Chains A and B, each alone.
Chain A
Amino acid sequence: MSYRMAVDIGGTFTDLVICDGMGTIRIFKTPSTPDTLAKGVLDVLDLASMSYCKPLKELLSDCDIFVHGTTIAINAVIERKTAKTGLICTRGFRDILYFGGGEKPDTFNFKMAPPEPYIPRYLTLPVTERISSEGKVIVPLNEEEVRQALRKFREWGVQAIAVCLLWSPVNPTHEQRIARLIQQEWPEVPWSISSEVQPVIREWQRTLATVLDASVKPIVKKYFESLQQSLTDRGFKRVCHIVVASGGVMAARDAAERPVYTLVSGPATGPLAGCFLGQQLGINNLMTIDMGGTSFDVCLVRDGLVATTRRAKVSDLPLGISTVAVNSLGSGGGSIAWVDRGGLLHVGPKSAGAFPGPACYALGGEEPTVTDANVMLGYINQEYFLGGRIRIAPKLSERAIKEKIANLLKLGVVEAANGILSLVNQNMIGGMVDISIKEGIDPREFLLIAAGGACPVHAARLAQGLGMKQVLIPKVASAFCAFGMLTANLRFDHVATYFTDSSLFDCNGVNQTLASLKTMGQAKLDEAAIAPGNQRFVYYTDARYPFQAYEIEMQLRSSQVTDQMVPQLVQDFHAIHETRYGFRDVTQTVECINWKVVATGLVPKIILPEQPYGGIDSSRAYKGIRKAYFEELGGFVDTPLYDGEKLTHGNRIDGPAIIEEATTTIIIIPRSFVTVTRWGDYLMQVPTTHEKTYADSII
């Protein structure tokens, strides 16, 4: 038997999805271990090994593909727990990070703090050197100044060094020389040079990418190395792959050298999972939401394409690389509810995480969380949370909500719990509005896919709040991103700058460039043991009319360009320019600036097994009654419970009702109902009566 595995480390849980050769999917979850993340990965693998009744060594040695998504880099940036980083720049240009790109957002709002440069000015040290726009050395590098800068950095306890000099994409020799000086003078300090991180002109964006890269490198590198080592020690024979911002994957070794691409890692694959599930149902327009313990991620898929952006920001810093467009908020099951001095209730963004976790975990947490509110209202089974592996103590939920919320607001405990849930729902709806209504897209035309362990409890209310009529709760809801990783292909992008103009097209130079890029991509795929038949190469150029400041990425028709093909290339550019911008200018030549080869390693498609039709009757799965709170029914009512494991294709359950799964709980609100699809997913129809309530809050 061969396996494919994907592990996603969230703020609260570490999820493992294993797909065997038959397409059968199994999910495992263990608490994340924030201090030693790799331990969390091993914990969840141990759990799987027990469940498969196979020693871990055997399980791992049968594993063909191991994909991993992590938020380690982004969390470090958000929480400012990055390495203390020094920046070396060209003399005279110490303030590239302060001046930024201009473009203050929100024009008429002056009450915004200006962005603090990512590297403080005192840790930004200029060195005398200058390269011209043609790549000529105008002022040679003053090596003594470099050494002085390094000594200062050392004295101040700097932990990583970024180097970004003007014109290094055209002539990287000064940056390379500085890298060698660092290796000589201070071999143990990690460094990044801009001509390697992002060899593209525009110094501000390149400097930002370089400082971000350097500042997370020590943490990321250490983690990836220890992870690969641990897996290898336990019998894994291949290279561990890491999810990167484009939704593709990279070898851990490569990702450790370029950690900026892992800043958007785990959440990037949620929409891929959504696409997969949408395709099964023949639905192309969907919104994926994923609520775990710490965060809530939302993304749109339109016409079957995952929304991507070049304007992704981390802590308000533009990344300058293309990423999956995921909107993340600090709302999760572990989000802590609190009352401010003015007597206003808040939920999040602080989370109780896995340790100590919500008060009801009885691990010492005293703060009331969203999960505690769900326990209070009878939504979560005390005996069966995470399949019974965590015992819930409702008394502790009650105490936390009473002491920290209800008493301060002079409310009953149930009212307070309901208030917490209404508020966290409203926050999440806000995040959904940002990527839909605020972009002029009406979410009522979209299918909502609700994933993440905590989401199915809230999904119906969220859909109702936006007037969305259908919600799909996948069987893999609780490990959605990990499932998405299994559907991701291996992908390696290689880019090089080589300028040529269509009037004097340099076929030789271009073809050499393309060939060397292809060789690099092919080497990566070979290394990942992708058979030649599953290797795909797609060739692109960034082209523009003379003096335009932005290029259009255009796919080439073949792997080479011959003299006879140049007129076709020009025609293609005119056509794509017209489609995109409404006009062409045939009097102009076309300039080609960058060349890119995307090397894709196809992984075998996952085919999920289908269930036979089992009729609408769901009574076989009925397992009893619990009191649960539904405001529209006037309070607590007897609510039927169903065992998710026993439901089959075609079964229908009308709300109010609760479906319990090992890793999640689905709340079916009154007047809605759920049917089971033939893949065992839950499709919920939601009544849309609450439009006005939501609408009042935005207008």
Chain B
Amino acid sequence: MLQRKEKMLDPILLAVMGARMGAIVEEMTLSMMYTARSAILNVCRDFSCSLLTSDARLLSLYEGVPIHVTGAEYNIRPILEFFRGQIEPGDVFLNNCPYTGNTHHADYSLSAPVFYKGELLFWALCVGHQNDCGVHVPDTYCPYCKDIYEEGPHFPCIRIQRNYKNLEDIIRIFRMNIRYPDQWYGDYLAQVGALRCAERALVDFCDKYGVGLVKEFIEEWMNYSERKTKEMIRKFPRGTWYDEAHVDPTEFAPEGIPIRVKLTCDPDQGIITIDLTESADQAPNGLNCTESTAVGGAYCGVLPCLDPTIPINHGLYKCIKVVLREGCVAGIPKFPASTANATLAVPKRIAGSIFRIFAEIDASFGHSEGAQSSHASGTITGFDYRRGYRPYGHQLCLLAGGGPASMHYDGWPSWLGDISMGVMPIESVELHEARFPHLIKEIAVSCDSAGAGQWRSGLGGCLRLQPIKTGVTLACRMEGVMYPARGVMSGRNAIPNRSWIEDANTGGEKRDLAAQGPFHLDENEVWVTYVQGGGGFGIALDRNPELVRWDARNEYISLDAAKEVYGVVLKADTELYDVDYQATTSLREKLRKKMGE
């Protein structure tokens, strides 16, 4: 029987308390963004905050990086094991280890238990991608690592604060291993600050509502999400669907690495199961997923195909089952396999495959794929002549590829892949040049870079960067060369990524860059990288001619593409490129016939 309490959890209060949780995570996020020191955190926001229950169930998250938040629960569970009976108020734990629930080595996951009147009620978690994590080369995604011993130091859930004070010996270990110790320490303080901000707010929250009501809220909040998710899944047809994607070739897999997704929908139970076990065996390099990112990739695929108003918490997660296999590239890595790139190449392919499967189930649910990783999100390191040749390092986010297209919607720009979904801010050119000795010569849309379709993807573009006074090193891996972002429902694929070097004085092309760095760039060289759009959705010949006209007028597509791909004839001598409807109708008929043949 429902017991009567002093304050009842009515539906308004449930909504207020749920929103308060969201607002606390938002406060954590802003606090982190406003105080962190490295640009990857304070400009590109490559971090995520969330709140969990005392038993490590996800309760609330804000608009963090999707691949981080989906794995939040994996981060807290081992701490509960390792420190059973020893968790105290004022503790902070740090985890960056792929074998104890973390995403990958470069995400430092800081967590703090939140007690109220002596009882552990919540965990606050802040996962932050570090500017440097002490790898032998200045890189944080290292696809070339053979095993975890090449990934820099691992900290499998260690305590770093006790009783609200640093454990200084532990801090010294970090300062010794990381390239930019002062900047790291500033970032560390910002992460701890975000946790403390959550702790204060949660204690106020409990003061206000009383612990009984708070506990009731937690369960009801998750039940609500579970109910709504099940309700939605019940509307899907029963069945099993497959899709096979490929990670681009590596030296060990010249044809690429197959990722196989099997999706089963059980409308009676209201459960969707994603089985990744038929994917390739684990790779002898850093491309392997961790358990957290394999599950994360699957969640990233499913969530955008569900009702976006459902609060994301453990209640929703209960309706999505992910089946993994040990020793699989998209599964649970077998020690000591490297997982340095675990948040990028493979999870993007998993998510993209799931989008396409949903489109097959019902065109109105699914999407095409967003852009695959390019060199434009690599790590650049060098020496700053303006600051006494002090070493610096930075993960670039000046330009990100195009997003997926969906029924009735063109894709978004500045997407950065299907595991980040456009949530990360794009760097300001001015802020970038103020901080780093680079001259940005161009950041612009590339004509015809969008995957064509009835709805096209977001546009890709071109970045031109020249180092000033001294050379730089670029650490990066480019995907989407052999296997670019795929279209769906007859939408076209994106154009392959590409990267090359030009002579700064003549502008002449000097050499193409391979998919995988690191590369060196001299001060008289300009690095050019082309970032693809996503895939298209639906048949290009069905696109509204007025949309084609507008794209052509703005040089998002060429006049040739308007004609040959979209079958639209335009009057290019008018200000707005008026459509020649008569010519368009006959051209489209002709092209359709050709397509039918």
Contacts and interface: CB of A to CB of B under 8 A. Distances in A.
Given A95-B461, A699-B11, A110 B304 contact: yes
Nearest to B386: A134
B193 interface: yes
Most buried by B among A547, A694, A695: A547
Interface string B236-251: 0000000000000000
Nearest to B38: A547
A438 interface: yes
26 contacts: A92-B443, A95-B445, A99-B426, A102-B424, A104-B414, A105-B63, A106-B63, A107-B421, A110-B403, A110-B421, A114-B458, A439-B19, A467-B12, A547-B38, A548-B35, A550-B34, A552-B34, A577-B35, A582-B31, A583-B35, A583-B189, A585-B185, A692-B10, A692-B11, A699-B11, A699-B14
A440 B22 contact: yes
B410 A545 contact: no
Contacts of A204: 426, 428
B16 A203 contact: no
A75 B529 CA distance: 42
Contact of A122 (B20, B36, B182, B555): B555
Nearest to A93: B443
Contact of A102 (B192, B426, B441, B442): B426
A167 B430 contact: yes
A695 B10 contact: yes
Given A100-B414, A582-B31, A585-B186, A696 B11 contact: yes
A281 interface: no
Interface in A83-105: 92-95, 98-105
A546 interface: yes
B37 A545 contact: yes
Mostly helix, strand, loop or mixed at chain A's interface?
loop
Contacts of A545: 35, 37, 186
A107 B22 CA distance: 14
B142 interface: no
A695 B19 CA distance: 14
Nearest to B416: A102
B15 A549 contact: no
Most buried by B among A94, A133, A167, A577: A133
Contact of B33 (A94, A108, A439, A550): A550
A114 B411 contact: yes
Given A438-B19, A549-B43, A202 B304 contact: no
A104 B439 contact: no
Most buried by B among A92, A108, A203: A108
A122 B570 CA distance: 15
Given A104-B403, A111-B406, A549-B33, 18 more contacts: A99-B443, A104-B414, A109-B308, A113-B409, A121-B445, A440-B24, A441-B16, A546-B37, A548-B42, A549-B39, A550-B42, A581-B35, A581-B190, A581-B193, A582-B193, A696-B11, A698-B12, A699-B224
B412 A104 contact: yes
Contacts of A113: 409-410
B14 A111 contact: no
Interface in A679-695: 691-692, 694-695
A182 interface: no
Given A107-B421, A545-B186, A583-B192, A166 B555 contact: no
A108 B312 contact: yes
A156 B17 CA distance: 54
A229 interface: no
A547 B19 contact: no
A332 to B, nearest CB: 26
Interface in B411-448: 411-416, 421-426, 428-431, 433-435, 439-445
Given A201-B430, A588-B186, A699-B11, A107 B63 contact: yes
A437 B19 contact: yes
B426 A100 contact: yes
Contacts of B550: 120
A442 interface: yes
A112 interface: yes
